[in-house]
Amino acid sequence: MDKLLERFLRYTRENTMADEGSSDSPSSERQRRFARMIANELREIGMKDVTLDDNGYIMATLPSTINDSKGIVGFIAHMDTSPDAPSENIKPLVHHNYNGNDIILNHDKGIILSVTDFPELKNYEGQTIITSDGTTLLGADDKAGMAEIITAMEILLAHPEKPHGKIRIAFTPDEEIGRGADRFDIERFGADIGYTVDGGKTGELEYENFNAALATITIRGRNVHPGTAKGAMINSIHLAKLIDSLLPSVERPEHTSGYDGFFHLYDLRGSVEETTMRYLIRDHDISLFNKRKALLENAVSKTAAEFSGAVIEISIKDQYFNMKEVIERNFFIVENAVKAYEKAGITADIKPVRGGTDGSRLSFMGLPCPNIFTGGHNYHGRYEFIPLESMHKAVEVIINISIQGTGKA
């Protein structure tokens, strides 16, 4: 576990935040620098066919140690971190033998990882907990997945007596801004099945995810001097508030769980003259997903009709779809993972992903790809944490799947 910890800490200190405003791939130069570092590390530990393409995708091979093919298994994680929280100057903290109480992340700023707010902390008493210093995210999403995959490969390389077929691994850029699979070369990757290592707490196993869309609404109002504004001013900020009020308030992320879908207004910027709103639209059910998109369009149309002097435009872009329909046709992949969990002493907790992962798009591209856990909690924020012991279990699962092969009958 010492090597796993060292590797993870080293990765988290690298700022690899994705840049939603860039059209490049990867979207940020910091990801490209990190990718070069990882590619060199893969060569150093003995991985073969290590490639880093112009778009920032890393691929590598662990050669087979057996003559009889077990099929080619792939493991995938993403390099970027979320733009939703600060990522500059990350200072990971290691809390050995956690005592079950609140964890002070930053004494000077009064930032505390509280057991009251996050009672699941109690489950890890006596373990090693890794956090940031509270001023940034930690980046376990998905530096933990990367560290776990590479550590598993290093262990298998050191133990050629462990029988396994050919293994392919890949690390992608820009998953956090919905572009992780945009330029993924399925044919060059060459795996029969894949697993993204991008989940949460120990035991999670996911093959259902949201259908997802991004809606951008631009409202152009009319600004005049407030002293003479009667009958002339159209305040685009108030129109934005009106549009949002036409959506069900109980269908926001903070009020939903399980299979509940939601509207998430995650960005609002504006002035009297012009306001931009950005919504994430999510639902596991494709029919409800389409109804959500229509409801938002109707809210825009109704507001535009009421305020004819305003110009309101909406653009909705589908991002990814529920991989359930692909995975259920290849359910042996899930059964294979369940066996690997059991061998590691873990009961699989099969649940829908309340989010997305590269695996959802890769599944529709021809690589069935459910999602396995990393061990992390509270992704995308300053209260993120991950137990080292959970990461070690993820390494065990990756090794078990590698030895089992595809598991296809």
Kindly list the distances between the CA atom of residue 60 and the CA atoms of 74, 195, 361, 388, in Å, as whole numbers in the listed order. Answer: 10, 15, 21, 25
For residues 210 and 284, what is the distance between their CA atoms, to the nearest angstrom?
Answer: 4
Which residue has 């989010």 as its token pair? 355
H runs (alpha helix) in 190-285: 236-245
Let me know if 163 is exposed, middle or buried by CB neighbors in 10 A (0-12, 13-18, 19+).
Answer: middle
H runs (alpha helix) in 58-174: 140-158
Among 74, 193, 143, 73, which Cα is nearest to 374's? 143
For residues 25 and 178, what is the distance between their CA atoms, to the nearest angstrom?
Answer: 12
Is residue 211 within 8 Å of residue 282, measured between CB atoms?
yes
For residues 283 and 314, what is the distance between their CA atoms, to the nearest angstrom?
Answer: 19
Q: Considering the candidates 14, 80, 142, 174, report the single residue annotated as catalytic.
A: 80
Which region holds residue 295: left if phi is over 0, alpha if psi is between -120 and 50, else beta?
alpha
For residues 229 and 187, what is the distance between their CA atoms, to the nearest angstrom?
Answer: 61
Q: Considering the candidates 154, 175, 192, 244, report the single residue annotated as catalytic.
A: 175
The reply to whether 185 belongs to the active site is: no
Six-digit token string for 367 = 């690589």
Amino acid at 357: T
H runs (alpha helix) in 26-134: 29-45
Kindly list the distances between the CA atom of residue 20 and the CA atoms of 25, 144, 381, 399, in Å, as whole numbers in the listed order. Answer: 11, 22, 17, 35
Is residue 79 within 8 Å of residue 171, measured between CB atoms?
yes
DSSP string, 301-325: HHHHHH-TTSEEEEEEEEEE--THH
Among 65, 67, 63, which Cα is nearest to 190's? 63
Six-digit token string for 157 = 């390389």
Among 76, 96, 77, 91, which Cα is nearest to 2's? 96
Which residue has 């389409």 as its token pair? 290
The reply to whether 125 belongs to the active site is: no
- CA geometry: angle 171, 347, 340, nearest 5 deg: 50
Q: Which residues are catalytic?
A: 80, 175
